[in-house]
A and B are shown apart, each in its own frame.
Chain A
Amino acid sequence: MSEINVSPAFTQIADFHASRLMAEILGAVAVVISTADGFEVAARARDAAQSSRLAAMASSIAAIGAVIGDETLSGACRGIFIEADKGQIVMVEIRHPDHILILTVVADEQALLGAVTYSARQTALVLAKA
């Protein structure tokens, strides 16, 4: 088992916000806060087995998004939004001074993309200063 380079204090705060988002977002299926290299820091999910997988996938997708932003001269990638048949997935970057992290929210069809995005972005801003 790998040990990750994130402080216990930050992990505790991230855990609180993962729990809060899971409760607040209508239709939330999973909330995962992970490092840029795909390690889960905090998570809440209807299917707990899904969270470490989501952490790794968020890492890959965010990295590819960053390259696309760079190659197209669009600037740094702040977020990635996936609209699927049965829900939506929002990934936003948490620009903490010590770590770049990713907040991923998976929600079912009850959720509104705009509402999920707003909640995720607000939480990312809070965590960036934690």
Chain B
Amino acid sequence: MAEYKLLITGPMGAGKTTAIAAISDVPPIVTDVQNNDTSVAKDRTTVGMDFGELALENGDTLRIYGTPGQERFDFMWEILAKGAIGLIVLTDNSTPDPVADLQLYLESFSTLIARTACVIGVGRSESHPAPSIDELSIAAQAKGVVCPIVPVDARERDQVLLLVDLLLTQLESR
């Protein structure tokens, strides 16, 4: 039985901690603290990492790590990206500039994406339909990334598992 490391990133409030909690077989490890950034309406924010585990049908285990969203924690992005087999980027269509957010993460994790695989999950797209999947796809392509982009509700286990499946399918086809 093998263990693999998978990384989830994306802007603050996109639902990374929620997504990991939704699919983890064990109680997730969470490093959230009081949010002092008055520009974001959120009580708590992840500053270290999130961690969960997911047993796959073949007996392998996925160790799932979540990054802090804010760019000031980019040193944690580097640490957490080491050894990962793939990246899920969760975006939030309700932020002021979801395209810029997406491009920031694709650029910051370009080394990991180039050697592994990537899936993009778009959050809150029902309440905020713009930008469309097509527009996000063009934005990703502009950063040299061609990968599946799907709407996701990070609270829904099945939807988060779909992102994991899409990522693993890409890796298997390599």
Chain A CB within 8 A of B73 CB: yes
From A19-27, A59-67, A81-89, A118-126, give the one contacting chain B. A59-67
Known contacts A60-B68, A67-B48: A36-B37 contact under CB 8 Å: no
Q: Are A71 and B35 within 8 A (Cβ)?
A: no
A residues in contact (CB < 8 Å) with B: 2-6, 35-39, 52-53, 55-57, 59-61, 63-64, 66-67, 71, 99-100
Interface size for B (C-beta < 8 A) is: 23
B residues in contact (CB < 8 Å) with A: 29-40, 45-49, 68, 70, 72-73, 75-76
On chain B, the residues within 8 Å of A60 by CB distance are 31, 47-49, 68, 73, 75-76
Q: Are A2 and B29 within 8 A (Cβ)?
A: no
Q: Are A36 and B34 within 8 A (Cβ)?
A: yes
CB distance from B22 to the nearest CB of A (A): 20
Q: Are B49 and A4 within 8 A (Cβ)?
A: no
Give Cα A35–Cα B72 distance, bound, in whole angstroms: 13
On chain A, the residues within 8 Å of B38 by CB distance are 2-5
Give Cα A99–Cα B34 distance, bound, in whole angstroms: 8
A58's nearest neighbour on chain B, judged by CB, is B47
On chain A, the residues within 8 Å of B76 by CB distance are 60
CB distance from B104 to the nearest CB of A (A): 16
On chain B, the residues within 8 Å of A3 by CB distance are 37-39
CB distance from B43 to the nearest CB of A (A): 11
On chain A, the residues within 8 Å of B73 by CB distance are 38, 56, 59-60
